[in-house]
Amino acid sequence: MIPFLFVILLLCFHPHKAFSAHCTTKTTTKTFEKCMPLPSQDASIAWTFHRHNSTLDLVFSGTFISPSGWVAWGINPNSPEMTGTRALITFPDPNSGQLVLLPYIIDPTVKLQKSPLLSRPLDLHLLSSSATLYGGRMATIHNGATIQIYATLKLKPNKTKIHHVWNRGLYVQGYSPTIHPTTINDLSSIATIDVLSGISASGPNNFVQTLKLVHGIMNAISWGVLLPIGAVTARYLRHIQSLGPTWFYVHAGIQLSAFLLGTAGFAIGVHLGQLSPGRVYGLHRKLGFAAFFLGSLQTLALLFRPKTTNKFRKYWKSYHHFVGYACVTLGVVNVFQGFEVMGEGRSYAKLAYCLCLATLIGICVALEVNSWVIFCRKSKEDKLRREGIFRGQEKTCGSELGDRH
């Protein structure tokens, strides 16, 4: 069950790796030799590299996320990062509404939002550039509209590894594109591609992205699935007399497994925070620390569990129930918060988790109804039994009085 869920979440978190994302070498105006799906934002790139003169013809395909938004593609000549990128950004003209494509240089002041992003000539050997909406002249700019940015540039001799950077934003102020969203999906829009071999080279982001994926899957399974299952086993299995103490060992085993797996996921999350000092996910971080703290208290509580005859046993049970349910609630809420942080708020991964959680809730409702039915039946039987005993005693007392008379 758990390995199967792990695989499902893995495929859902990265559908572009599990299944081939769409890319094409043919457009309405040109045909290219190679194409490659890019790792975020459903973007792709196609190109032809002419070795004899080191000329690169390419087309970048992306999508708008707002009717007044912008889409950008660029090259960073020095390193795989946003700062220093020479970009071509397309958006609707604020005056005419027609599509425009302007050059920009992303310097550190723009990243820190100290100054607006202003168009200026690129220091690249750009031979030509243009942008067209997919769908021809009748196409309109809207949320989800596909845009194609064409560029022809001359590369330096023997320089075939290109750092591609792309992104998209919600709106433009005048002719200055505003900051893009800061989800994981938007912050990982970088790829280093060898245009000669067509191989995507590993960049520094790949390791971090892998850690984020592992962190998300481990915590979704531990805090979001195993921990609630452990709470359900304790609530509903303990009343089955035929199981004896087995329910406790099942409950403790599931919760301990969840805590150990969650601790590993928590440690990866802390390490990710150290690797990304400029990115702060306040609510997600606080919920994670709170859930881990409560989980640690629950684990330590096992060491101080009083015997059933101890007078403090009822206080320990109240504490254990309160902290346990609080930990489960925080864990589930933080899993949903994690989906938003990773830019998977509308993904199949979140849908799969919601279905899993809904199934568990449905099982709980069925077991709760069954428990109340059994409880009411036993109460009725006990009441009838007490009434039978009471009537029997009355008859006995009546017969004794008759014998005395």
Report the binding-site residues for heme b. Answer: 215, 251, 284, 320
Burial class (CB in 10 A: 0-12, 13-18, 19+), 285: middle
CA-based nearest residue to 82, from 107, 62, 63, 118: 107
Judge whether 62 and 86 are in contact, CB under 8 Å.
Answer: no
Binding residues: 215, 251, 284, 320
Burial class (CB in 10 A: 0-12, 13-18, 19+), 330: buried
Beta partners for residue 35, in sequence order? 46
Q: Which residue has the tokens 């709170």?
A: 290
How many whole angstroms from its chain centre is CA 226? 18
Kindly write down the DSSP assignment for every residue of 155-191, as one continuous string. PPTT--EEEEEEEEES-EETTEEPPPP-SHHHHT-EE
Angle at 357 between CA 355 and CA 360, to 5 degrees: 110
- Count, residues in the chain: 405
Burial class (CB in 10 A: 0-12, 13-18, 19+), 73: buried
